[in-house]
């Protein structure tokens, strides 16, 4: 069975500092991996995804993530945090189960950006 672990339920960074949100996964087959962002009182929206090919994936708003198979990790980074990045971020893994792509979400990491 697949699972996702996000290290740190809350992360605080200063505006302009590096953002690093950690995600480790377990999967019995090569997975598809996702990062979603949730702003207050809104639904989740896709930031980026890894399916196949290049292991460094670029997403919206300057975020990127690198798939490292040997470490079973898919950490999310952004070189310089902006106040508008304050939100909750969810890592997710998808694998085929019973004929459909079953998506399992991590518990989320709330990012606080300090001015």
Indicate the residue among 99 and 115 with the shorter CB distance to another protein.
99
Count the Cβ atoms, other than its own, within 10 Å of residue 102: 13
Q: Which stretch binds another protein (CB under 8 A): 10-18, 22-30, 33-41, 65-73?
A: 33-41
Count the Cβ atoms, other than its own, within 10 Å of residue 33: 22
Count the Cβ atoms, other than its own, within 10 Å of residue 26: 13
Interface pick for another protein out of 57, 85, 91, 108 (rule CB under 8 A): 108
Give the whole-angstrom CA distance, residue 94 versus residue 48: 13
Q: Taking CB under 8 A as the criterion, which residues in 34-63 touch another protein?
A: 34, 36, 41-46, 49, 51
Give the whole-angstrom CA distance, residue 73 versus residue 34: 11
Binding to another protein by CB under 8 A, coded x per residue (else -) over 86-105, reads ----x---x---xxxxxx-x
Give the whole-angstrom CA distance, residue 42 versus residue 53: 31
Give the whole-angstrom CA distance, residue 44 versus residue 88: 9
Least spacing, CB of residue 72 vs another protein, in Å: 18
Interface pick for another protein out of 25, 32, 63, 89 (rule CB under 8 A): 32
Q: Point out which residues bind another protein (CB under 8 A).
A: 32, 34, 36, 41-46, 49, 51, 90, 94, 98-103, 105-108
């Amino acid at each position: 069975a697949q699972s996702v672990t996000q290290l740190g339920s809350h992360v605080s960074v200063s505006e302009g500092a590096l953002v690093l949100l950690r995600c480790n996964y377990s999967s019995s087959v090569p997975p598809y991996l996702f990062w979603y962002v949730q702003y207050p009182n809104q639904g989740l929206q896709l930031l980026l995804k890894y399916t196949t090919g290049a292991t460094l994936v670029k997403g919206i708003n300057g975020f990127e993530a690198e798939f490292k198979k040997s470490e079973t990790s898919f950490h999310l980074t952004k070189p310089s945090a902006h106040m508008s990045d304050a939100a909750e971020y969810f890592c997710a893994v998808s694998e085929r189960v019973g004929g459909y792509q079953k998506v399992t979400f991590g518990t989320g990491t709330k990012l606080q950006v300090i001015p």
